[in-house]
Amino acid sequence: MKRICLALMLPAAIAAQPQNAAPAISLVQTKGGGTAGVPMQIIILLTLLTILPAVIMSVTPFLRITVVLHFLRQALGTQGTPSNQVLIGLALFLTILIMQPVVMDMYHKGWEPYENGQASWQQAFDDGTQPLKAFLVRYVREKDVKLFLDVSHTSVPKRPSDLGLAVLVPAYVLSELKTGFQIGAVLFLPFLIIDLVVASVTLSIGMVQLPPIMLSAPFKILLFVLVDGWNLVVGSLIRSFYQT
């Protein structure tokens, strides 16, 4: 937080100097004994912000949640309602709720010792990624892990916690994609039955003026509202991560 504040205050400090004076950029001394210039801190911060969306989508429940919500919207046949912004916002806040204990554990085990000068950045990275590895190991499939171990020609470790992030992250993505598609297929079934019933009825009475999908949409929405579908879907998604 101190580094971010210094990075934000740097342009204001330079603008406040006299025009004839050269801007003085000081080095920030860390408690670990190293020095990092403010421009370098800005570069590091911008780099982290650039890869942050990919990290959120790859190593968090965000992937499964967005896939399931997309399938749900397709099954309802409501086209762009809810909008992508609403679905992504809902998925993001659910991800924060689920990942908060993991992130706090990573902060306490990795960043705090490094900030206090009790560990090098290599040791802080290893300790800080242990909670993330434990989270990923809980949801990866053994088949996916074996695939990337074979592709990378890596020997099978003795313990799951010894797996590297280079193997765990892609294996987790594949596992979450499969899980999300499985949940999406289950969500499709009741709405597909409604589509088949409405299509059969309309064809049997010779009603061809309107497409069956347009006639079945109100029935699907009514069914979803009556069973409190959003509560059931979101609650099941959250419990799937806490109970696994």
pLDDT digits (tens, 9 = 90+) for 18-44: 444 444 434 344 444 444 567 777 887
The predicted pLDDT at position 175 comes to 92
The predicted pLDDT at position 24 comes to 40
The predicted pLDDT at position 208 comes to 67
The CA-atom distances, in angstroms, between 141 and each of 8, 138, 156, 224, 230 are: 43, 9, 14, 32, 28
Ramachandran area for residue 33 (φ above 0: left; ψ -120 to 50: alpha; else beta): left
The predicted pLDDT at position 244 comes to 52
The dihedral through the CA atoms of 12, 16, 19, 21 has a sign that is negative
The predicted pLDDT at position 177 comes to 92
Residue with tokens 């039955």: 193
Q: What is the pLDDT of residues 76-109, one digit of tens each?
A: 888 778 888 999 999 999 999 998 998 898 888 8
For the chain, percent of residues with pLDDT exceeding 70: 83
The dihedral through the CA atoms of 109, 125, 154, 58 has a sign that is positive
> Can you tell me the distance from the alpha carbon of 37 to that of 6, in angstroms, rounded to the nearest whole number?
11
